[in-house]
């Protein structure tokens, strides 16, 4: 039987896996800032806008070198992002509307240019259409080097400007009062997002790349409220999805790598939405149930105090469960009494009647009278 790690001895799989993991790491880390700044759609804009840049770079140079095509994609994506800022800043058009307009316009232009190139003699072999949906299995060493260089640049700049980007994400107005160049920082952060997106276009494609920006951050957001942990988790989730998607697609015949990576990060996001301990759906259900049980127990404790308060010593006045049930027709009285006993607020006598402890009498008085 082949050991799990031995499958990575294959050069192609190793290259695709490393490239996909690097893509997930970088896009996840940058995606955390995009999600926090409510610019999730910006990733969609940049990825779709990159298509005309790729085609134009090929038309002008006739080269299919990864660096040439990525440069064209970066310039087009960066121009689209700046155009969105310009439209929002100089017109009455809202951000989401501006993003939708720029996205559709650039993508339409890209499809038009792509059709023109494909009609040109010999251009059908250019393979530019793989950037629509990605072709991670075609990654080679040169592609991996390009992705690694761009990824390192993004992470280094992100580290150097960490405090500035953190303040920009949470309170840009305050950042401006401190004298920080908010507009320049916004452009730099957007440019990093552009680099992160164009890094993964060949692997995932312009159509699916936005998911690699949004999904890891959305998953990480369920696990933490701290920015540092959010960025680390988002990058880790992206890298895990890239590695898992590449590995699964290599083991299953005719399974495309790009869509498999997206399905992997989608699965991680769904698990996070359901099972994250702080903000997950299951945690919310358990918290709501716990709050209902606590409210039930507080109500029974207050009822028990009202009955016991009619006696000189509330801690020496036991009452039957049936009497407590008639106080307000509560359900689950026995369960609430067991919860109170576990908390040391009530105790049962040998006859099955319940009385308050000293701590329970004090807590019951606060609940019944509403005064500390």
Encoding tokens for residue 130? 């793989």
Q: Which residues touch 8 (CB under 8 Å, ≥6 apart)?
A: 14, 17
Taking the chain (372 residues) in consecutive chunks of 10 residues, what is each chunk's mean pLDDT? 59 80 89 84 82 86 76 87 86 85 89 81 56 69 79 89 88 83 86 82 75 90 90 93 88 82 92 88 88 87 84 77 73 83 86 85 83 58
Q: For residue 6, what pLDDT is reported?
A: 63
Q: Which residues face 356 on adjacent strands?
A: 346
- pLDDT for 123 equals 46
Residue 121: what pLDDT?
45
Q: Quote the CA–CA distance of 144 and 367 in Å, as a whole number.
A: 65
Q: Which domains does the chain have, with CATH numbers?
A: 4-267 (1.10.3470.10), 283-369 (1.10.10.10)
Please name the residue that has the structure tokens 């399905």: 263
Burial of 82 (0-12, 13-18, 19+ CB in 10 A): middle
- Give the Cα separation of 240 and 205 in Å (integer): 19
Whole-number pLDDT of residue 361: 85
Instruction: Please state, in angstroms and as integers, the Cα–Cα distance from residue 159 to each residue in 155, 228, 317, following that order.
Output: 6, 11, 66
């Amino acid at each position: 039987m082949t050991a799990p790690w031995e499958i990575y001895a294959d050069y192609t799989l190793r290259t695709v896996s490393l490239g996909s993991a690097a893509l997930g790491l970088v896009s996840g880390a940058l995606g955390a800032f995009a999600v926090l700044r409510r610019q999730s759609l910006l990733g969609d804009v940049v990825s779709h806008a990159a298509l005309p840049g790729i085609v134009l770079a090929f038309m002008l140079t006739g080269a299919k070198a990864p660096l040439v095509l990525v440069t064209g994609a970066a310039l087009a994506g960066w121009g689209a992002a700046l155009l969105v800022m310009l439209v929002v800043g100089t017109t009455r058009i809202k951000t989401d509307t501006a993003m939708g307009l720029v996205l559709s316009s650039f993508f339409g232009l890209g499809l038009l240019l792509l059709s023109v190139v494909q009609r040109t003699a010999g251009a059908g072999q250019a393979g530019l259409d793989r950037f629509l949906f990605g072709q991670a299995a075609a990654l080679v060493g040169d592609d991996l080097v390009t992705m690694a260089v761009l990824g390192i640049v993004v992470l280094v700049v992100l580290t150097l400007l960490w405090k500035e980007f953190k303040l920009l994400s949470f309170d840009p107005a305050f950042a401006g009062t401190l004298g920080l160049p908010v507009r320049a920082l916004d452009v730099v952060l957007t440019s990093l997002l552009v680099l992160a997106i164009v890094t993964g276009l060949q692997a995932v494609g312009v159509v699916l790349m936005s998911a690699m920006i949004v999904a890891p951050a959305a998953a990480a957001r369920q696990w933490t409220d701290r920015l540092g942990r959010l960025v680390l988790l988002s990058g880790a989730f992206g890298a895990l999805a890239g590695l898992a998607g590449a590995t699964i697609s290599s083991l299953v015949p005719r399974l495309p790598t790009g869509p498999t990576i997206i399905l992997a990060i989608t699965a991680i996001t769904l698990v996070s939405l359901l099972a994250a301990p702080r903000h997950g759906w299951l945690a919310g259900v358990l918290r709501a149930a716990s709050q209902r049980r606590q409210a039930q127990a507080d109500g029974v404790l207050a009822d028990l105090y009202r009955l016991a308060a009619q006696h000189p010593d509330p801690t020496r006045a036991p009452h039957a469960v049936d009497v407590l049930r008639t106080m307000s027709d509560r359900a689950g009285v026995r369960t609430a009494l067991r919860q109170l006993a576990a908390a040391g607020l009530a105790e049962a006598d040998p006859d099955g009647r319940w009385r308050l402890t000293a701590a329970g009498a004090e807590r019951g008085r606060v609940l019944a009278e509403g005064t500390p």
